[in-house]
Every structure is written in structure tokens, then in C-alpha cells.
A = this chain, B = another copy of it.
């Protein structure tokens, strides 16, 4: 089967908004809040929420809510599985397009 000759890409991470979310979280090496992630990935609230849920369901991010002065702040952070999956995906992209991490 030709289909078995190449590794199938991680589509959870490859999707453009989720790729940006994961990259921002990995670079930050810390939790980022919803407002920052919205800027990073240029998504609407609903869209960002859906992408974060997809990443959460895959076990790649952890979400923490914090009440600050009557408002709820949402923090998102990479899990170790998420960090591993992101790095694997980056290596895979490097292999395909011929780039290398700094």
C-alpha cells in the first residue's frame, strides 16, 4: 500500500491556528492567557476556544481558570505530551521542507 510509505502528519498540531498556539506556548515555556493567545493566532474568542478544546482533548494543553477582580482569566499551558508532540511535528516539518531549528 502506497499509503503506508509515509508518516501521516499530526493534523491536530498542523492546523494553522493550533500550530501558532503550540509554538507560542513552547517559546513562552510558561502559561499564556487567552488574550495573548488571541493576539498570537488572530482568532475570534469562539474560534480560539474551539482550538484550545481540541488541543486539550488531545492532551497537549492544560487550562486553568483564575478569578481576577470579578473577571475570569483563562491560562493555557503545554503538557509534557504537548511539548513532545509539538517537537516531533517540527522535526517532521523540517524533514519535509528542509529547514532546521535555530
Binding site for B on A (CB under 8 A): 2-6, 8-9, 11, 14, 16, 19-20, 23, 27, 38-44, 90, 93-94, 96-102
Residues B5 and A42 in contact, CB atoms below 8 Å apart: yes
Chain B residues with CB below 8 A from A2, complex form: 38-39, 42-44
21 contacts across the A-B interface (CB closer than 8 A): A2-B43, A3-B43, A3-B44, A5-B42, A6-B20, A6-B41, A8-B16, A8-B42, A9-B16, A11-B16, A20-B96, A23-B96, A23-B98, A27-B98, A90-B99, A93-B99, A94-B99, A97-B101, A99-B100, A100-B101, A100-B102
Given A16-B14, A96-B20: A4 touches B42 (CB 8 Å cut-off): yes
- Provide the main secondary structure of the chain A interface: helix
Chain B residues with CB below 8 A from A41, complex form: 6
In the assembled complex, the CB of A7 is this many whole angstroms from the nearest CB of chain B, namely 8
Residue in B5, B8, B23, B39 whose beta carbon sits within 8 Å of that of A97 in the complex = B23
